[in-house]
C-alpha cells in the first residue's frame, strides 16, 4: 500500500499564519522521511482556520525543504484562475523539482461568493467560468506541453507556451465530490480523486462510474485513483478521539452555517458544550474518519482500501494540539503519520 498526505495548512488558536506554515513544512518533512508517496496542499480563501490560499506558493516552499516526496495541489480551483497562469506556475514548479509535481484541479471555488469575485478581479469573470471548466482543463494541459497552443490571430498562428523549454510535465489529476467530476475524468482520460474525506457519501458510485467509463488518453492509459480520508492516530484510542474533536466540531459548525474561527485546542474543545445536533454531527465525523491507536487505525485503512479497490490512501491528518504545545509544529499530526508509517510502510 502507498500512503500520501493532504494538508490544508490549518491555523490553530495558538498559531499565527507563519506558525502554521512552519508546522506544515515540518509535517511534509516527516512524510518525506517516512516514505509517503505524495504531499498535496489545498486551496481555500478567507477562512480563519486555513492558511493554504495558494498551492503553487506552498509547493515551492515545501519543495525547497524536502527531498523525494511528490508535491501537488489538492487542488487548484480552476474557475478562480486563468488557465495560462496555472499552467505557468506548475510548469515552473516542474522545472524546479522535475518528476515530483502533481497538478490536482477542482471546479469548486474554495471560498464564499464575495471572495470568489475578488479573486477573479475586474476582468469580469463570472459563473460562466464553471461551465467552461472542461475547456479550461484542456487549455492547462496543452499550455504545459512542449508544443504549447497555437492561437489564431490575423495573418499568423501565435504559439503560446507556459514555459519556453519544457523537459517534463506535471502529472495532472482531476478532483471532485460529485458524479460530474467522475464523468469528466473518465471522458478525458485523467487520473481522478473523489473527496471521500469531505463527506464520505457517493464515493463508491463515483469510482465505479469512472472505472467503467474510462477512455485511455496520452495522459493516462488506465483508470488511476486513490482514496482520501480524515485521520488521527495516537498511542491510545481515547487520545486520538480527543485530538480529533476540535476538527470535527469545526466541520459541524461549517455545515450548519455557523461562524467559526481558528482551530480550537483540545482543552478548549472539551470545555465548551455544543448543541446536541452538532454533537451528533461530531460523532458521525469521528465515525467516518480513521481514528484510533496504530493497529486499529491501520486495519481501518486496509479495510477502506479493500472496500474501494485502491492501493493508495491519502490521509488528511486533522489532529489539533494541547495547550502548551509548540506553536510552530503539529506534533499530533506528525505522530499520525509516523505511527501509520510504522504499521503500513514497514
* Domain count within the chain: 2
Q: Which domain holds residue 267?
A: 232-310+317-346
pLDDT band at 124 (very low <50, low <70, confident <90, very high): very low
76 CB contacts (<8 Å, ≥6 apart)? 43, 55, 56, 86, 90, 103, 104, 105, 106
Specify if 196 maps to a domain.
no
If asked whether residues 139 and 280 sit together in one domain, one would say no
If asked whether residues 165 and 280 sit together in one domain, one would say no
Percentage of the chain exceeding pLDDT 70: 96
If asked whether residues 257 and 154 sit together in one domain, one would say no
If asked whether residues 159 and 250 sit together in one domain, one would say no
With 50 as the cut, is the pLDDT of residue 31 above it?
yes
CATH number of the domain to which 146 belongs: 3.20.20.30
- When mean pLDDT is compared across 90-104, 139-153, 307-321, the lowest value belongs to 139-153
Among 135, 155, 176, the domain-final residue is 176
The mean pLDDT value for 320-329 works out to 98
- When mean pLDDT is compared across 145-149, 151-155, 184-188, 271-275, the lowest value belongs to 151-155
Q: Report pLDDT digits (tens) over 191-217.
A: 999 988 876 778 999 999 999 999 999
Specify the higher pLDDT residue, 290 or 132: 290
Specify if 149 maps to a domain.
yes
Specify if 22 maps to a domain.
yes
Q: Report pLDDT digits (tens) over 48-101.
A: 999 999 999 999 999 999 999 999 999 999 988 999 999 999 999 999 999 999
If asked whether residues 172 and 242 sit together in one domain, one would say no
Q: CB–CB of 241/213 below 8 Å?
A: no
Percentage of the chain exceeding pLDDT 90: 78
Amino acid at each position: 500500500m502507498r500512503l500520501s498526505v493532504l494538508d490544508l495548512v490549518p491555523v490553530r488558536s495558538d498559531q499565527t499564519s507563519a506558525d502554521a506554515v512552519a508546522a506544515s513544512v515540518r509535517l511534509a518533512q516527516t512524510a518525506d522521511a517516512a516514505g509517503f508517496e505524495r504531499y498535496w496542499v489545498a486551496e481555500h480563501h478567507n477562512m480563519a482556520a486555513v492558511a493554504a490560499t495558494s498551492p503553487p506558493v506552498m509547493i515551492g516552499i515545501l519543495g525547497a525543504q524536502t527531498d523525494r516526496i511528490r508535491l501537488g495541489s489538492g487542488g487548484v480551483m480552476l474557475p478562480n484562475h486563468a488557465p495560462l497562469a496555472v499552467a505557468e506556475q506548475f510548469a515552473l514548479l516542474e522545472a524546479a523539482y522535475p518528476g515530483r509535481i502533481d497538478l490536482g484541479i477542482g471546479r469548486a471555488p474554495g471560498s464564499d461568493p464575495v471572495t470568489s469575485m475578488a479573486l477573479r478581479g475586474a476582468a469580469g469573470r463570472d459563473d460562466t467560468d464553471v461551465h467552461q471548466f472542461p475547456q479550461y482543463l484542456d487549455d492547462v494541459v496543452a499550455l504545459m506541453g512542449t508544443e504549447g497552443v497555437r492561437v489564431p490571430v490575423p495573418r499568423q498562428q501565435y504559439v503560446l507556451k507556459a514555459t519556453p523549454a519544457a523537459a517534463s510535465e506535471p502529472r495532472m489529476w482531476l478532483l471532485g465530490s460529485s458524479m460530474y467530476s467522475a464523468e469528466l475524468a473518465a471522458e478525458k482520460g485523467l487520473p481522478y480523486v473523489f473527496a471521500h474525506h469531505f463527506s464520505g457519501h457517493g464515493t463508491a458510485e463515483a469510482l465505479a462510474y469512472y472505472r467503467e467509463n474510462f477512455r485511455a488518453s496520452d495522459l493516462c492509459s488506465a483508470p488511476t485513483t486513490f482514496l482520501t480520508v480524515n485521520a488521527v492516530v495516537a498511542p491510545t484510542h481515547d487520545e486520538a478521539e480527543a485530538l480529533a474533536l476540535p476538527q470535527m466540531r469545526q466541520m459541524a459548525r461549517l455545515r450548519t452555517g455557523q461562524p467559526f474561527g481558528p482551530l480550537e485546542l483540545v482543552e478548549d474543545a472539551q470545555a465548551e458544550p455544543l448543541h446536541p445536533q452538532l454533537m451528533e454531527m461530531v460523532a458521525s465525523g469521528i465515525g467516518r474518519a480513521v481514528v484510533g491507536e496504530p493497529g486499529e487505525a491501520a486495519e481501518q485503512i486496509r479495510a477502506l482500501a479493500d472496500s474501494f479497490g485502491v492501493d493508495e490512501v491519502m490521509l488528511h491528518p486533522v489532529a489539533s494540539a494541547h495547550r502548551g504545545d509548540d506553536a510552530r509544529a503539529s506534533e499530533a499530526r506528525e505522530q499520525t503519520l509516523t505511527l501509520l508509517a510504522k504499521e503500513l510502510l514497514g
